[in-house]
Every structure is written in structure tokens, then in C-alpha cells.
Structure 1
Amino acid sequence: MQTLPVRLVPGDDLRNTLEALARNKALGAAFVIQGIGSLNGANLRYAGINQPALLDCDLEILTLAGSLGPDGAHLHMSVSDSAGRVYGGHVSAGCIVRTTAEILLVSLDNFRFSREFDSGTGFPELSIYAQP
């Protein structure tokens, strides 16, 4: 297991940048342990809803967690607005870093994550493979 601290800069798309990082660094299986920072807005998909909701305001990232692999990411985040209201859900593309995003990743050396369609859920779900 290896830790990888990451800082995203203003203008980075949180999800797209983390997925690109996983591909570029050949992370076969990784977890986002935590993330904090700020966003210019966020696209979060709430439970049971198919389309993300746009939060078009400055936001603070309170928590960020999820899994990363070559087939993509599964990320959840909670954010707060200037009034302290908290929103949370599945991270979609379009969460743009405002000042910084400080993220801690953990790479699992002997595993590979894949996203494979699960007929029971109707979604691509995590499949875990041991690597020698």
C-alpha cells in the first residue's frame, strides 16, 4: 500500500483530474481517503436521481472519499455553501476547483479495480481482482 498526496489547482475538474491521474500513474486500485478544498460549483448526483444537480456557487469541500481504477472513479463528497448549508452526493464531472483541493490517495499494489455492469443494480459496479 502506498500513499499519494495530491493537490489540484484552480480550474481543475475534480473528477476528471483524479481519473486522469489514476490512468497516468497506472493506479490499478486506489482509494480517496479524504479531500478538502474549495469549488466554484459542483455537480452532485443525489440518491435515487439519475441526473446530477448543479450547485452554482462557491463551496467548501468538507469530505471526499471513493475508489479509483483504470475504468474510472466512484466518488462521494459533502460540500457547504456560504450560509453553511451542507449538500452531499455522487461526484460528477463539473466540480471545478476554486483555490485548492488537497487529497490523499492510497494505492493498493496487489489489486486491480474494474467497473463491470451488474444486472442486479443496473450500474457498472466495482469488481476487485488480486494481482500477483
Structure 2
Amino acid sequence: MPGRRPIDAMHTLPLRLNPGEDLRAALQAAVRARDQRAAFVIAGIGSLVDARLRLAAADDALVVPGPSEILTLSGSLGADHAHLHMSVSDAQGRVWGGHVLPGCRVRTTAEVLIALLPDWDFSRDPDAATGYLELVAKARGQ
């Protein structure tokens, strides 16, 4: 049809992260290593030690001490940013969730599926309505 864009390409990237790796930094590095500027984390499972989360509207990190299991992991990745949300359960089965902060170290493994979007660029710009840096998605060439 005239005026309609063709369906954009999407490539999937399954990853296994190793013990000791920083979850957030490793995901950003995987996207950068493939010269990608737009990606989404579709799913993630695994285990962490001393998970670090930022709760809604909080300024400080919540540290979930000791071992925890990743129950959910999703978010967006760009060349210079990561906006990731995660829920984890601690050794007593309590569930915590929030923004993934640097310092979440893999305990045994993390298995993550990333969708690479080679036809797009993601950036973050200030948004007057929210007061935060918010996602700006642009098709390459725009």
C-alpha cells in the first residue's frame, strides 16, 4: 500500500550470562557489541546475589541481600541507556520488583532473550510532562 512502511526486521539474541557478571552492564554491552541502537529485553530468568532495585518514586536502592531468583525481566536498551524492570524472589520466597540498577551480580546464570531492532534508534530525552528522560524511538533515516 502506498504510504505504509514495510514491517520492520527484528532479530533475536539469546544470551547466557555467567556468575559474577553485572546483569545491566552485560546486556548493554551485548547490544553495543552488535552495533545496535535499539533493543528490547523480551524475557529473562536466572539467579542473582544482592539484587539492586529502585522502587517506584524512590531515590535510594533497595538491596535484596543474598541469593535471589529472577522471576521476570524486561525493558528497553539503547546504545547509551538501559531501562529495565525486574521482579526477584528472595530465599524466603518474598517477591520484590522495580528498576534494575547497576550491581545486580549473576549468581549461577542468567538466561535472557533480547529482540534487536536494526531499523530503529532509541534515545532518551527530557519529557516536560513527566520530568524524566523518556524513550524516543525513531526509525533509522528519519
Both proteins in one fold, TM over 0.5: yes
* 1:26 matches 2:40: no
Shift of 1:119: 2.5
Distance in 1 (CA, whole Å) between partners of 2:125 and 2:16 is 29
Q: Name the TM-score, length of structure 2 as normaliser.
A: 0.89
Unaligned stretches of 5+ in structure 2? 1-9
User: Are the counterparts in 1 of residues 64 and 90 from structure 2 also a CA contact under 8 Å?
Assistant: no
Specify the SS of the correspondent of 1:127: strand
Identity %: 55
Instruction: Tell me if 1:76 matches 2:85.
Output: yes
2:21 is aligned with 1:12: yes
TM-score scaled by structure 1? 0.96
1:48 corresponds in structure 2 to: 57
Structure 2 distance, partners of 1:27, 1:84, is 37
Once the two structures are superposed, residues 74-115 of structure 1 have per-residue CA deviations (whole angstroms, 9 ceiling, x without a partner) of: 000000011111000000001000000000000112111001
3-state SS of 1:23 partner: helix
Query: Which 4+ runs in 1 deviate beyond 6 A?
Result: none
Aligned counterparts of 1:93 and 1:119: Cα–Cα separation in 2? 26
| Other structure's SS at 1:83 match | coil
**How many residues in Structure 1 have an aligned counterpart in Structure 2?**
132
Equivalent residue number for residue 5 of structure 2: none
Q: Mark the structure with the bigger radius of gyration.
A: 2
**Residue 69 of structure 2: which of 51, 60, 64 is its match?**
60
